[in-house]
Structure 1
Amino acid sequence: MGSVAGFSYKTSWLAVRNRTPGEVADALELHDREALDWATGTDRAYRYGVYVAAPVPGWTLAHGRLHIPTGFDATEPPFPDWLRELSRHLGEVHFFANERVPDYHAWAQALDGELLRAYCFIGERGEVPLFIGDPTADEIELGIGIRGTEPEWEDWADDEWTAWYATTPSESDVMAMAARWSIDPSTIDDATVTATGIYGLPPSVSDTSRNDNPR
């Protein structure tokens, strides 16, 4: 498969405010680093590893379908502390994820070691396994991510289910949240990204276990 510039859907990424790719790569403890162009790096990170680039002023993006984060996802217990720890090193850090199957959509923001907001919806299971902090003004305005999995849901009538489900996000809603908080990566003009970024592997991941799963 040839390189396809950019990333957006069916993957996970971080947006970090006003940090260099080197600082982000250091916080992620990436090893076996390579300097790669935008098209090659983002394409490879769909398959394996993490690519850190600075495609727009003010934001550094770190992309990795399998390895942002490594070994778990936003539904699992290590996630909040992982994001808090990154923000202790990097300041303002946003996380986004979307996977068409199993309809996994998430976003979170942390600042200086504090997890301000985190939300994740798993459509395949019909639940919100992560709901930390109050919904932000952006979520409220968009009408998404504003309700968790509520304890009385088994007793809901059809109209209550419909109202709850209307607040759950699609993959395009993840992009809308990214645009509100930082940048929607699907809108980046690939031709404007001329600087190389840093590709590498996170701790506990070895180059010998690399796979070549396509997007």
Structure 2
Amino acid sequence: MRLLLVLLLFRLVQWLAEKVRAWRRHRKLVRQLRDLGVYGGTITADRSKSGRPAPPVPAPCREPDGPVPFGYKTAWLALRCGSPEPVISALRPGLRQSANWTTGLAAAQAQSGGWVFVSPVLDGFVLAVGDGLFALAERQDELNALAAQFSEVQYFASHRVSSSYCWARYKAGRCLRAYCTEDGRVLRNTGALTPEEQALGFGAFPAQDGQDADRQPGEEDVLDIAAAWGVDPRFETPYPPSTGWLCRPDGWKEE
């Protein structure tokens, strides 16, 4: 009986120690998320539509890792330049900090915070990814002003819930091509189809709102044209480990 009591006491001590360690880990994570600006309350209180607690946004980590695929339910820019610094400068961040792909993209695609993840150079382009960039589809003046600062700027947005799909290509500050749809309506169709769009069969999309078409654009089409124009966000071709930057632009906070 005494041995049984000792074993039970030992198990109780182990359980309490694990609870204390878990509480400390939780408090540390909360502090990190608050410093990052993406903590919006107690983590366990944030629940997804399924009723289960939503996973917390990982705290930023500077350890290099390989590019993480993205492109669904998000918006991004591909800017031709030889360093991320001109991109960061153009975003005019109030805050910035180093982050790897995994934690940087997680923060940039969180539901709050307005962060943008700026990548290192990939095939001559720097990527800027974040849900806050969805607004650029409607803020043409801001997108035009940004495009004027680089030799080439590409813009992409994809969100299957609202059936919103956009892509645009600027060179020397001039919009060569832009196409945007939402809920089956054509919101923008500027310039002629590029050779890459023609090769991908985008001529089957409606050219104007209300027009019958062979098919409507989808999220895979946005990924395909991004790959054809420069950088494939699916990253099927491996890249060496690297880190980027998390930036919170002063002027592009989420509404």
TM-score (norm. length: structure 2): 0.66
Aligned to 1:68: 133
Q: Distance in 2 between matches of 1:103 and 1:46?
A: 18
Q: Deviations over 1:90-127 (max 9, x none)?
A: 220101110011011110011121111110111x2x21
Contact map agreement 2:99 2:245 (CA 8 A) in 1: yes
Query: Where has structure 1 moved over 6 Å in runs of 4 or more?
Result: none
Aligned to 2:108: 45
Deviates most, 179-188 or 138-147: 138-147
Aligned to 1:156: none
Contact map agreement 2:82 2:121 (CA 8 A) in 1: no
Aligned to 1:87: 147
Change (3 A) 1:189 1:150: closer
| 2:191 is aligned with 1:128 | no
Question: Whose Rg is larger?
Answer: 2
Gaps in structure 1 of 5+ consecutive residues = 154-160, 211-215
Change (3 A) 1:8 1:31: same
What are the within-5 Å matches in structure 2 for residues 90-101 of structure 1? 90-101=150-161
Quick one: which of 157, 162, 168 aligns to 1:102? 162
Contact map agreement 2:178 2:191 (CA 8 A) in 1: yes
Gaps in structure 2 of 5+ consecutive residues = 1-54, 59-66
Q: Distance in 2 between matches of 1:134 and 1:205?
A: 30
| 2:169 is aligned with 1:169 | no
Deviates most, 28-37 or 52-61: 52-61
| 2:248 is aligned with 1:196 | no
Q: Distance in 2 between matches of 1:62 and 1:193?
A: 18
Deviates most, 95-104 or 46-55: 46-55
Contact map agreement 1:27 1:90 (CA 8 A) in 2: no
What is the total number of aligned residue pairs between the two structures? Answer: 188
Amino acid at match of 1:68: L
Contact map agreement 2:98 2:244 (CA 8 A) in 1: yes
* 1:179, distance to aligned residue in structure 2 (A): 0.7
What are the within-5 Å matches in structure 2 for residues 110-149 of structure 1? 110-122=170-182, 124=183, 126-144=184-202, 147-149=206-208
Amino acid at match of 1:134: A
* 1:193, distance to aligned residue in structure 2 (A): 4.8
Q: Secondary structure in 2 aligned to 1:186?
A: coil
Amino acid at match of 1:121: T
* 1:85, distance to aligned residue in structure 2 (A): 1.3
Q: What percentage of aligned pairs have identical amino acids?
A: 33
Amino acid at match of 1:91: S
* 1:30, distance to aligned residue in structure 2 (A): 1.7
